Structure 1
Amino acid sequence: MSQLRGPARSGPLRVWGEALAAAAAGIVAMYVVAALGLWAAGAGDLPGGGFLHVVAAAVAIAAGGSVGLTGDAGVIVQADAALDAVPLSVTLAGVLVTATVFLRPLRHRAVATGRELLARVARTAACWLVLLLVTALVARHSFRIAVGNDLADQLGTELGATPTVGFRADVPATLGFGLLWVLAVLALTFLVSRRAPLTSPLLHLQNWVRPPAFAMLTALLAYVAIGLIAGVVVLIVKGHPAETAAVILLGLPNLAWMALGIGTGGAWSGHVDKAIGLPMPQLLDDVLHTRHGRRTVDLGSLAEHDGRVWLLVAVAAVVLLGAAFTGAVRSPARLPAWRHALETALALALTLLVVGLITRIFAHYGLSLVGVGDLGGDLGGEVVLEPQLPRLVAAGAVWGLVTGFLGSLLARRVRHPGEADEAPRAA
């Protein structure tokens, strides 16, 4: 009866140690993944000891923070830069590790008081903010660069106007959004995991909210696992190990969850007018590469370059049906199929909405000599990728209805948690 035990009596040092362990484990995991990914992308060669600062900036962005790019080129050269892209591999590592360590002291509990849970969340959030503050203070650096023109470089040196480009974390914004980030992570942890104890008034979440939430988590993680396998195959077969490793370690969920959205009929739009160093698969670059207007990224446009993308529809069908089946098995046994279909539709629509919002990209960098025009060459470029949110939400609702209904029908022959054993047959 260990799962019915009351609150464990822990001293203040122990409970603060558990909070610090959850926060520190999450941020260390993010640093490790970010460092490996940026090293594979070539950031290890940055001058002036910039690698650690770039890693800290990546962690800050992955944790919901804000890092702004700056250009300082005096009166001779003008520079402007902007970057809005979340390295979701780093984010996912932090989410999974933080949630796992946070739940460990609670794994034998079924019910807890609201005061105890709020205290645990508050302590973990406080520890997280301290570590994120240190990260934000480290996430600042600048680099001196050449504009690619001998005359401009010579004039800049003589006049003390050698251009620099750098980045700096916005500390208040990083802490504010970072707090929302960790609170969202812990809320989702209670929403999804059966190991997380609930207060008595919230026990109904166990049967009505957790099953579809867990089903969506299963689908997202399944796509990441499939993407990881595909990435390893590409790394072995086609070479380019550094570039492939950088994509896996920095943007694997970005691409995997875009594949989910595209496979269900969703779409993104944008353009790439010149590469600026962001890791991106060749197929996506081929579709987006244009200097004028925007291109739509969906099944049709991708199939023009590689017909194998139609397999994304089959993958979506298998994964989402499996997730819906998992959610149905975890739901009450007598839940009508139409009710489960509606729940799955709502959950998948919300999931694809969030996927669209967190996979958007805007990156721009350019240099120009005043009065001469663009001298950027390889130093200038732009990448834009925006989700078509109405299309994604509609696709999620339709697929959720179908897979939710079928998953419920398939789950009828499977025993649900809490069902009583059937009476033994007479001999």
Structure 2
Amino acid sequence: MSPPTAPERPVARHGWAQALGTVLTGLAVMALVAALGLWAAGAADLPDDAFPRVVVATLVTAVGGSVELSGDAGVLAESHAGLTVIPLSVTLVGALVIGAGFLRPLRHRAVASAAELAGWAARLAVLWLLALIGLALGARQTFAVDVGSGTLSDLAGLFNAAPKVGFTTDVPLTVLFGLLWLAGVLLLAVLVARGAPLPGRLLRCQESVRPAAHAVVVLLLGYVVVGLVIALITAASRGHVAATLALVLLGLPNLAWLALTVGLGATWNGRVDGPFGLPVPHVLDELLRTPGASELNLRTLTAHDGRWWWLAVVDAVLLLAVAFRMAVRSPARIRLWQHALHLAVALALAVLMICLTGRVSAHYGLSLLGIGNLGGGLSGELFLEPRLWQAVGLGALWGLVAGLLGGLLALPVRRRGEVGEPPAS
């Protein structure tokens, strides 16, 4: 009788074709969301057929790439412009699609070697690199700025100083940050997904890392869902459907996660001047449209409208819910202080990510014959930036308290690895 043969290992189906499908699907979904959002915002009416290239530039910024604005207003005039903003709605859908595509060939697996995971990620990275180069080279456009009628228009025509604005990309920075973005997406997908296989040496890490990482991701997505519901209710009751659609498709996480940090007690400094505006509730625009920099936090918001204190209540409820879920999903041998520490670290990192990606900065100006800020509505400034370490510290503190309370609430719930559980045969 011949000796029994070992069962064949299943062949992992994650070759170049699957990698290409994942990259193309992610880019297609991101382009669709960006195009619809820009169309709702009125970008389809830009001159010189700039709309497709604006969509490409939006994709570049969504993955962390660098888009540089330039201005030209003739020999006797100059214009200056700058824009720093990440459309996190586009970023989020791209991360979800590419992360799901990365995990799909690995499903139904308990363990995967480090070489196998690295090889699969490398295929995606090579194709993503080619896509980044194509996007960076395609995001270039220059078009004229309409100065309207009147004295400024006459001067612009007399001195051949019609202002133009354009944008281009820094290809090396776009490639660098785009690859870092992909690496972060793939790493987060492996950390969060319960069914994602890990190398044998890292299996112990999943007991402490995965429940906390999953809890924070659920918290962030939950805030986006809450923001979406509020946006749809507002659009149905008060109108402004196009503006609401543009907000949802381009910057809903920007606003939702800003509300999350404000509910934690964080402070953002900002100012709105000129034609710029934020697609946010009117009270926020009022707070920021001041001669100098203004503070945006729970204190200033509740001074305008006392109902904003509900942000802290929503934070507390959602945090307690995800902390309880984290504790239930963790082995019973994880102690209360460990629950608190894990959630504190995870929430602090999430707040750090929000602060780094949620910054907004925009300015535009025109000067003629040395006279700056001509045209009134043609010049303006907008910025919104957090007090970084204050926000991160508050996130760690809230995570510590919520993790402790969630662990206490989960004590009566039977979980994996309890002492009284009979050993598996």
TM-score for both structures, normalised by structure 2? 0.93
Confirm or deny: 8 A CA contact 2:366 2:372 kept in the other structure.
no
Report what 1:143 is aligned to. Answer: 143
Return the offset for 1:281: 3.2
Q: 1:374 aligns to what SS in structure 2?
A: coil
Distance of 2:10 and 2:202 partners within structure 1:
17
Map 1:54-203 to 2 at 5 A: 54-148=54-148, 150-157=150-157, 160-203=160-203
Return the offset for 1:388: 0.8
Confirm or deny: 8 A CA contact 1:147 1:367 kept in the other structure.
no
Distance of 1:421 and 1:125 partners within structure 2:
47
Return the offset for 1:33: 1.0
Report what 1:402 is aligned to. Answer: 401
Map 1:7-22 to 2 at 5 A: 8-10=11-13, 15-22=15-22
Unaligned runs of 5+ in 1: none
Distance of 2:26 and 2:137 partners within structure 1:
18
Return the offset for 1:197: 0.9
Confirm or deny: 8 A CA contact 1:6 1:109 kept in the other structure.
no
Q: Which amino acid aligns with 1:181?
A: W
Return the offset for 1:422: 4.8
Once the two structures are overlaid, the 10-residue window that deviates more, 413-422 or 402-411, is: 413-422
Distance of 2:12 and 2:255 partners within structure 1:
45
Deviations 1:33-54 (CA, angstroms, capped at 9, x unpaired): 1111111111011111111111
Return the offset for 1:286: 1.1
- Asked if 1:348 corresponds to 2:347, the answer is yes
Confirm or deny: 8 A CA contact 1:363 1:383 kept in the other structure.
yes
Confirm or deny: 8 A CA contact 1:216 1:323 kept in the other structure.
yes
Q: 1:75 aligns to what SS in structure 2?
A: coil
Distance of 1:354 and 1:252 partners within structure 2:
16
Confirm or deny: 8 A CA contact 2:139 2:169 kept in the other structure.
yes
Among all aligned residue pairs of Structure 1 and Structure 2, give the percentage whose two residues are the same amino acid: 51
Q: Which amino acid aligns with 1:325?
A: F
Return the offset for 1:417: 4.2
Deviations 1:161-218 (CA, angstroms, capped at 9, x unpaired): 4221011111121111101110111011111111221001111121111111111101
Q: 1:201 aligns to what SS in structure 2?
A: helix
Return the offset for 1:131: 1.6
The ranges of structure 1 where at least 4 consecutive aligned residues each deviate by more than 6 angstroms after the TM superposition are none
The aligned length equals 416
Report what 2:357 is aligned to. Answer: 358
Report what 2:310 is aligned to. Answer: 311
Confirm or deny: 8 A CA contact 2:99 2:185 kept in the other structure.
yes
Distance of 1:83 and 1:373 partners within structure 2:
19
Map 1:368-379 to 2 at 5 A: 368-379=367-378
Distance of 2:248 and 2:172 partners within structure 1:
30
Distance of 1:171 and 1:149 partners within structure 2:
38
Q: 1:182 aligns to what SS in structure 2?
A: helix
Distance of 2:370 and 2:345 partners within structure 1:
55
Confirm or deny: 8 A CA contact 1:362 1:383 kept in the other structure.
yes
Return the offset for 1:419: 5.6
Return the offset for 1:5: 8.5
Q: 1:379 aligns to what SS in structure 2?
A: coil
Q: 1:378 aligns to what SS in structure 2?
A: coil
Distance of 1:418 and 1:51 partners within structure 2:
57
Q: Which amino acid aligns with 1:216?
A: V
Return the offset for 1:156: 3.9
Confirm or deny: 8 A CA contact 1:144 1:163 kept in the other structure.
yes
Q: 2:381 aligns to what SS in structure 1?
A: strand
Q: 1:78 aligns to what SS in structure 2?
A: strand
Distance of 2:346 and 2:8 partners within structure 1:
33
Distance of 2:52 and 2:12 partners within structure 1:
40
Return the offset for 1:416: 2.6
221 and 421 in structure 1: CA distance in 2 versus 1, 3 angstrom threshold: farther
Return the offset for 1:150: 4.0
Unaligned runs of 5+ in 2: 1-6
TM-score for both structures, normalised by structure 1? 0.93
Q: 1:168 aligns to what SS in structure 2?
A: strand
Distance of 1:345 and 1:294 partners within structure 2:
31
7 and 205 in structure 1: CA distance in 2 versus 1, 3 angstrom threshold: farther
